[in-house]
Amino acid sequence: MKPATATKPAPRETLNLRIPTAERNLIDRAASSAGKTRTDFILGAARRAAEEALLDRALILVGPAKFDKFLALLEQPAKPNARLRRTMKSAPPWEQG
């Protein structure tokens, strides 16, 4: 039986940024309010932006019949359900409290 070993963290690379003081201060305040370090805050925001940018450029190929069916579904009005009704009756988060 092999002895248990501690998991070694993945190596990290350095990324240097030059930004105006006011922007750094804004990022620091936001990171602090989220309970994160500046590095963790920036890395999370950059990762989300990168994923969004790549997903925005995703290409989905379908045949003409499937595309027509897709368009028909988009043109149908939404069907109310219990969850939608409950959401529409509740006060918005900024008015709660």
List, for residues 17-48, the tens digit of each pLDDT value. Answer: 999 999 999 999 999 999 999 999 999 999 99
Global pTM reads: 0.54
Per cent of the chain over pLDDT 70 is 93
Place of tokens 């069907």: 79
DSSP letters along 20-50, please? -HHHHHHHHHHHHHTT--HHHHHHHHHHHHH
